[in-house]
Each structure stands twice: as C-alpha cells, then as structure tokens.
Amino acid sequence: RLEIRNMVRAFGGTRVVDDVSLKVMPGQVTCLLGPSGCGKSTTLRMIAGVEMQDSGEIYVDGQLICDTVFRIPPERRHIGLMFQDFALFPHLTVGDNVAFGLSGSKAEKRARVEELLDKVGLRRFIDGYPYLLSGGEQQRVALARALAPRPKIMLMDEPFSGLDNRLRDDIRDQTLELLKAEDAAVLLVTHEPEEAMRMADEIALMRRGKIVQQGAPYNIYNAPKDRQAVAFFSDIN
C-alpha cells in the first residue's frame, strides 16, 4: 500500500505539485490522469525517490519512507518503475534483463525469469537479445523486468505511449492481467482519459498541480466535477 500526503514541489516559485495526497491499494490500479504539464511525472519521480519534495510524506505499508528530513534512497524502496523510455539493456539477453534486479541463487533467479517470461508469452526469446524484439515485445520484457523482484509498488509513466494503436489495447490488457496477478499497488500516469477508463480501479484527476476529483472511473466519467473536467473527457465516446 502506497500513501502520499501533502506533497509539494515548486520550480521557480510555481508549485507544479501542490498539496497532493493519494492512496494506492495492493491489487489496484490508480490512474493519475491530467493534461500535459500538470505535474504527473514530477509526482511519480518524488515517489520513486529520484526527485525531492519541498514538503510532504511518502509511506509504504504504513511506514515512512521519505519526508523532508528522512529519506530512504531509491534503490531501497522496493518500487518497480516503468517509463516510456525505460529501455532494455541492449548488451544483455532478454533473460538477463529480466533477472537484472533479482537476488538469490542462479536457479531461483532462472525460475522467476522463466515464470515471468511465460506470463508475457516471450519465453522463447530468453536467450535472445532485445533488438530481435518488436516494440510491443520489448515493452512486455520491460514489464517482466520491473515485476521480477516482486515490488509492492509499481509506478508507470505513460508506459504505452511509444506503441502503435493496434498493439496498445492488447498490451494494456495483458499488462493489467499481470499486474493483478502480482498484486502490486499500481500508480499509472497518463494524459489519455481512454487509457484511464480502461485500466483504472480509481482515477485521480489532476490539474495545475492539484488533484481536482477522485473516484471510480465511471463515476468521474458520468459526473465530471466542472467544465474543464467535462472538456477533458469529451474526446472519448
């Protein structure tokens, strides 16, 4: 379970993240949805620990992992990351890419890698190199790599935006299935309402650094809070 409280981050006097609080439960996908520049990636980077908040606290399973004085470094947060440009290591095989963050014996690592590659349907590529794979396949390997160490929290920043439309829906569905099976608490950033409607258990609508509305997808879709929310959802049918 991930919880952030009263997170603030300003650049040059502008609060790009302005008092954001959120909870994400295990086995659930929460979408941080909002227009370009509203502060989504900044929020995610602070949770990942690669950027420091000006104020606010981050908790994992009720334990403080970061405030303005105490800070667990990114590599010890047990948080899985998947970003659009989070490329595979080209000099490692697909199997070694997935094994990258794993500890344990060789046999244990191998078993986990095979399990995940089976789940994403790419076991046959285990000894191949990433350049052999299509964009969609690389994306699935990146997902397997992120989930391999069994992170409690999974942060995803526009993970499907590099894929063509034809592939995207399939990969979204597969990704969702795997995330649910692994029982991670997922925070997914997107600027596409359609993606949030398809993937989210909960949507947090963000605008100019603030969460302006939060709830189940159909509640938000059917009852947008204000004119801007209506306009934002109006391009999906």
11 binds ligand ATP per the rule CB under 6 A: yes
165 binds ligand ATP per the rule CB under 6 A: no
The number of C-alpha atoms within 13 Å of 38 and in the hemisphere containing its C-beta is: 19
CB of 13 to ligand ATP, least distance (A): 11
CB of 36 to Mg ion, least distance (A): 7
Among positions 171-210, residues that touch ligand ATP (CB under 6 A) are 191
3-state secondary structure (DSSP) of residue 18: strand
Residue 125 CA to chain centroid, in angstroms? 25
The number of C-alpha atoms within 13 Å of 215 and in the hemisphere containing its C-beta is: 10
Q: Select the binding partner of residue 16 from Mg ion, ligand ATP, none (C-beta < 5 to 8 A, by kind).
A: ligand ATP
Please report, as a single letter, which amino acid is at residue 186.
Answer: V
38 binds ligand ATP per the rule CB under 6 A: yes
190 binds Mg ion per the rule CB under 5 A: no
Q: Do 49 and 66 meet the contact criterion of CB atoms below 8 Å apart?
A: yes
| Cβ-based nearer residue to ligand ATP, 34 or 95 | 34
Phi-psi region of 6 (alpha: psi -120 to 50; beta: other; left: phi over 0): left
Farthest CA pair distance, the chain: 56
DSSP state of 71: B
| Cβ-based nearer residue to ligand ATP, 16 or 48 | 16
Other C-beta atoms closer than 10 Å to the C-beta of 131 total 8
Contact window for ligand ATP (CB under 6 A) among 22-30, 33-41, 85-93, 169-177: 33-41
40 binds ligand ATP per the rule CB under 6 A: yes
Among positions 20-49, residues that touch Mg ion (CB under 5 A) are 41
Question: Footprint of Mg ion on this chain (CB under 5 A)?
Answer: 41
Question: Footprint of ligand ATP on this chain (CB under 6 A)?
Answer: 11, 16, 34, 36-42, 191
